[in-house]
Amino acid sequence: MPPAETDADSNPSSAAYKSIVAYDGTDFEGFQRQAIGHRTVQGELESALTELGWRGRSLLAAGRTDQGVHASGQVIGFQLDWRHDPQDLTRALNATLPQDIAVRQTEAVSSEFHPRFSAVSRRYQYSIRIDATRDPLIERYAWRLESDPDLELIRGCSADIVGERDFGAFGSAPVEGGHTRRTVTEASWSATGSNLIFEIEANAFLYHMVRRIVVLLVAIGQGQEKPSTLQQMLNNPAADWQGGLAPARGLCLANVRYDPE
């Protein structure tokens, strides 16, 4: 495990904890801590932990969401000398955190647990709203389209994503020089009224991978790209998709799965 990924705490009485965190990413410059003056989810969480006596260098996380991306199931790990039960720790953190972040659950875990490296899979949801007029109550959490994409067409194309593929055309590895093969176990669409939800689960994701796939699928569904384009990108991972990104506001890290669960 690289040194930058450790939550070192010299206090021998510290215990390891895992927390599930939800946040509205609208007003954050991403998850990962940055320089002073940049508001991040990690920075707010570490400030709250410090109020409770945390002395680690950096908390651990299952993933580093981009600016504007939300989460309902982000997972963090940290060590803390806490003499009460985990439910009290959840309450104590939420009493300190701002309103756009909440710890949903906390449990004690083995010191070997790592939110990123122990994960079996991650699940993201992407929300789309079909509406010709802006709705302020929805706009922060969905990509608004004025016309419907062909849902059956994009469902069929999404089946090509499932399996082990080289997704290099849709993103870069989080570590420089890392490989771009990923195994997708689900890529499905559901519709309720004017709302579309794309759900994708994989062992891991590339940087910007989901947002690039979504924008291509929508372009296919609206007749702006041929259905064959997706397969061409999968067959040519060095091609580098140039069609842009779906807006960050529609994306949410929904769940991180660990064995056994």
Point out the residues that are catalytic. 66
Task: Kindly report the three-state secondary structure assignment for every residue of the chain.
Answer: CCHHHCCCCCCCCCEEEEEEEEECHHHCCCCCCCCCCCCCHHHHHHHHHHHCCCCCCCCEECCCCCCCCEEEEEEEEEEECCCCCHHHHHHHHHHHCCCCEEEEEEEEECCCCCCCCCEEEEEEEEEEEECCCCCCCCHHHCEEECCCCCHHHHHHHHHHHCEEEECHHHCECCCCCCCCEEEEEEEEEEEECCEEEEEEEECCCCECHHHHHHHHHHHHHCCCCCCHHHHHHHHCCCCCCCCCCCCHHHEEEEEEEECCC
